[in-house]
Structure 1
Amino acid sequence: MATNRVAHEPAFVLHRYDWSESSLILETFTRHHGRVALVAKGAKRPSSNFRPVLLPLQPLHVSFGGDAEIRTLKSAEWMGGHVMPTGEALLAGYYLNELLMRLLARDDPHPALFDAYGGAVEVLAGDHAAARGAAQSAAMRAFELILLREVGLLPALDAQTSTLAPVEDARAYALVPEAGLREAEGGENALSGAQWQALQGALDARLPFTAALRQIAGLAAGGNAALRHQLRVLLNYHCGVATLRTRQLMRDLQAL
């Protein structure tokens, strides 16, 4: 069987594990091949060309080959464009990585999601003061929505899931696990039907991430806390956890 070879593939490192005294196993997110596991032989050696390159939240071009579940990394090149996020923005980037690790199957390409991830990371790596505020929050919500849509876990946001009846502008609706979008009950986190329809419109437009980010940021501004809570509950449900590890780490650091 011929060995499969991939050259100059856009990629990000999501996670890395020690494999031996000198090598690493990488979980990467590639644009055309999805989540791919790679072994970086000798990457831990001081003289390795991989050492300064194989960092999370950095755009790379990688070449790899092999037919096994874990393929062999041949080369990796940093593509530049932005520096490493720091502080809360760095933790937010690790949160995005954890979502991808939990929700993406290996070798299942999602080019639109890859582009959205790159856009979100670029926002997180921007001006630190801005990244801690509205820009970071909007980038996170936009990415969460696009991720859920791309993996088939987001119901239509302009209709009630159980009845398919269109949502009404002035009524309040909640997005909940198993039930999808339904009319909100008293005291429940909710957005108006008009807000849900606008979010669906932004997703349907399939705009570049920066344009989608601006739309979603404006649409969610009045109900950001409610949207954040509902997406968090939905993501935790599909990830099979009560709280994601990176979320818990954020809480612990904020408590300190």
Structure 2
Amino acid sequence: MATHRVAHEPAFVLHRYDWSESSLILETFTRQYGRIALVAKGAKRPSSNFRPVLLPLQPLHVSFGGDAEIRTLKSAEWMGGHVMPTGEALLAGYYLNELLMRLLARDDPHPALFDAYAGAVEVLAGDHAGARGAAQSSALRSFELILLREIGFLPALDAQTSTLAPLEAQHPYALVPEAGLRDADESENALSGAQWLALQVALDARLSFTSTLREIAGLAAGGNAALRHQLRVLLNYHCGVATLRTRQLMRDLQAL
């Protein structure tokens, strides 16, 4: 049987493990093949061409082959375009990687999610101190929404989930695990029906990440905080944890 080979596939490195004294196992996110594992033979040797390339949050073109669960990396080239995020933006990028590692099955292609990830990483890499909080928050919320939609955990945002009743523009609704979108209690974080409807329109747009990013950036501070809280609860629920490791690390650093 012929060995399957793939050339020049857009990819990002999500995580890496030692495989031997000289080689690495890479968890990568590719556009056409989803999350796949690759062995980079000799990547730890000082003379390896892989050493300066196989970095997280960097757009790559990879070529690989094999039919086993772990394929063999043949080549990797940096696509250019932006530098490595730093500081809080770097931690935010690792948070995106943790979400993909926890929620995305291997060999499950999601081109739209790949494009959203690439867009979010580009925002983080180009984030300037003056707008850091707003830019990072909007990029993360946009990616979280698209991730939940792509893996089937986001209900339609243009109707109440259990009754399919249409949303009232000024009425508050909450997005919660298992129940989906429903009427909000007075004490709950919530968005108005008009805001949820606008987010659904943005998600349905051809360039969903850009449209959703623009929509979230236009939310008032209270609306952005409410969306962040609801998505955090939903993601933690589906990840099966109280707090993701990267979020806890960010909290710990902010407390120093």
Q: TM-score range by the shorter chain?
A: over 0.9
Where structure 2 has 5 or more consecutive residues not aligned to the other structure, the ranges are none
Q: Is contact 2:203-2:212 (8 Å) kept? A: yes
2:121 alignment partner in structure 1: 121
- 2:36 is aligned to 36
The Cα offsets for residues 214-243 of structure 1, whole Å up to 9 and x where unpaired, read as 123214655000000000000000111111
Q: Which residue in 2 is equivalent to 1:62?
A: 62
State the partner residue of 1:200: 200
Question: In 1, are the aligned partners of 2:93 and 2:124 still within 8 Å (CA)?
Answer: yes
SS in 2 for 1:202: helix
Cα deviation, residue 203, structure 1? 0.6
Checking the alignment, whether the CA contact within 8 Å between 2:146 and 2:209 is kept in structure 1 is: no
Give 5+ residue unaligned stretches, structure 1. none
The CA distance in 2 between the partners of 1:120 and 1:113, in whole Å, is 10
Instruction: Give structure 1 regions of 4+ aligned residues with deviation exceeding 3 angstroms.
Output: 219-222
Q: How far apart are 1:128 and its partner, in Å?
A: 3.1
Whether 1:2 aligns to 2:15 is no
Q: C-alpha distance in 2, partners of 1:130/1:21?
A: 44
CA positional deviation for 1:206: 3.1
Q: Return the alpha-carbon distance in structure 2 between the equivalents of residues 195 and 154 of structure 1.
A: 16
CA distance in 1, matches of 2:24, 2:9: 19
- Judging changes above 3 Å, is the alpha-carbon distance between structure 1 residues 108 and 214 closer, same or farther for their aligned structure 2 residues? same
Tell me how far apart the structure 2 counterparts of residues 219 and 113 of structure 1 sit (CA, whole Å): 23
Q: Which residue of 1 aligns with 2:51?
A: 51
Residue 168 of structure 1 and its aligned partner are, at CA, apart by 0.7
Question: Counterpart of 1:26?
Answer: 26
Identity of paired residues, percent? Answer: 90
Query: 1:100-115 residue pairs with structure 2 within 5 A?
Result: 100-115=100-115
Q: Shift in Å at residue 165 of structure 1?
A: 0.4
Paired amino acid for 2:187: G
Tell me, what secondary structure is at the counterpart of 1:139?
A: helix
Aligned to 2:217: 217
* Structure 1 contact 38–71 (Cα < 8 Å) conserved: yes
Q: Which amino acid aligns with 2:71?
A: R
Alpha-carbon distance in structure 1 between the residues aligned to 2:244 and 2:193: 29
Mapped to 2, the partners of 1:185 and 1:95 lie a distance apart of: 30
TM-score by length of 1: 0.97
1:125, CA displacement in angstroms? 0.2
Residue aligned with 1:54, SS:
coil
Q: Tell me what 2:75 maps to.
A: 75
SS at match of 1:83: coil
Tell me the SS of whatever aligns to 1:16. strand
Aligned to 1:98: 98
